[in-house]
Amino acid sequence: MAAFFMKKIVITGAKGLLGEACCRLFSNDYEVFALTRADIDLADIDQLPGLLRGMEFDYLVNTAAMSGLEHCLDEPELAKKVNRDAPRVMAEICHERGAKMLQVSTDYVLDGREDVVHEESSETRGSCVYSATKLAAEKLVLEACENSVIGRVSWLFGRGRATFVDQVMNTALAGERGSYISDKYSVPNFSDFLVPVMGRVLESNIQGIVHLTNNSEAESWYSYAEKIIGIAINLGMLNDNFDIIDKNKLDEISFFREERPRYTAMRPKRLSEELNVEVGNWEEGVRCYLKQKSENSLTNK
Ligand SMILES: NC(=O)c1ccc[n+]([C@@H]2O[C@H](COP(=O)([O-])OP(=O)(O)OC[C@H]3O[C@@H](n4cnc5c(N)ncnc54)[C@H](OP(=O)(O)O)[C@@H]3O)[C@@H](O)[C@H]2O)c1
């Protein structure tokens, strides 16, 4: 009988939103090595080569990041280490051992000042410490490891941690009015729908920048909230009362001290043209996610 060897994959940020989904879903097809902060503090760059050189792997997916914009503003040197230097070191080790690296990046590297849907070749900017460090990582990873992919993602939701979807639902379920920004746009994505496509990317010959997103119209936070509520009403999770949300403007949010790019919707041009794959539609993702949540809360009772 032929022996069956699973390829080995390292996932960093294993306790984060996307990292959790990667570990859970990739474990069907790969031998997964999940790295959390307890295994390695990525700010401790000197420890990283030793750790990675001691592991056997075919792929490395770096989902770890310091992603709070104000946290990055307040601790720029730490942000540079975690978001820029650690991915560069990972890329160097991947190159050394012939592994493929998928560096997870962000729509926030895009310029965002025009109302245009961005393709992989669109202008970038790096308007704040977070996006500048992520943008620098994109360049350094591609330089250090030929067999690497920069997978830009946007507005994730999923099981790994509470996100905007949970915030909207919790506010509505508490009978409170929610106020959501109506002049900032991107495209939501369900982490469980992204991971199989990330697997396709790893198994393909594609290299360089790839937009990992479903091909939907841009949403504002307000229209996103409106659609979440509509789906929840449809599932019988909320009463049929649409008038429970208000609009506000990006400039009105006083605790945002960093500039957020305003319009960062991405189109998955390379996924569709070169790999012929699609990420599942985000509204279907919200439906799946809310159903899972309500089933879990019923079984936990
Ligand atoms: N979520 C989004 O909407 C979104 C949008 C665009 C791009 N992205 C990008 O997508 C990727 C995944 O995002 P996510 O939402 O899954 O992030 P997340 O939930 O915040 O998870 C990030 C993970 O990184 C780990 N981490 C942070 N600093 C670390 C350090 N110094 N050493 C070791 N681990 C560290 C965190 O560990 P702890 O759990 O211990 O803190 C956490 O598990 C990130 O690269 C992010 O930039 C996310």
Q: What is the CATH number of the domain that holds 73?
A: 3.40.50.720
**196 belongs to a structural domain:** yes
Q: Give the distance (Å) from ligand 1 centre to CA of residue 78.
A: 14
- Beta strands 208-211; 156-157: pairing state: unpaired
Q: Give the distance (Å) from ligand 1 centre to CA of residue 270.
A: 24
**166 belongs to a structural domain:** no
Q: Name all residues whose Cβ lies below 6 A of ligand 1.
A: 13, 15-19, 37, 41-43, 63-67, 82, 104, 106-107, 134, 153-156, 160-161
**249 belongs to a structural domain:** no
The whole domain housing 106 covers: 7-161+188-216+262-282
pTM over 0.95: yes
**103 belongs to a structural domain:** yes
Q: Give the distance (Å) from ligand 1 centre to CA of residue 168.
A: 21
**150 belongs to a structural domain:** yes
C-beta contacts of 245-249 below 8 A and 24+ residues apart: 245/168, 245/177, 245/178, 245/179, 245/180, 246/177, 246/178, 246/179, 246/180, 247/179, 247/180, 247/181, 247/182, 247/222, 248/179, 248/180, 248/181, 248/182, 249/181, 249/182, 249/183
Question: For each successive 10 residues of the chain (301 residues), what is the average pLDDT?
Answer: 78 98 97 97 96 97 97 98 98 98 98 96 95 98 98 98 97 94 98 98 98 98 97 94 86 90 97 98 98 81 53
The number of distinct structural domains making up the chain is: 1
Give the pLDDT score at 1: 47
State the Rg of the chain over Cα.
19
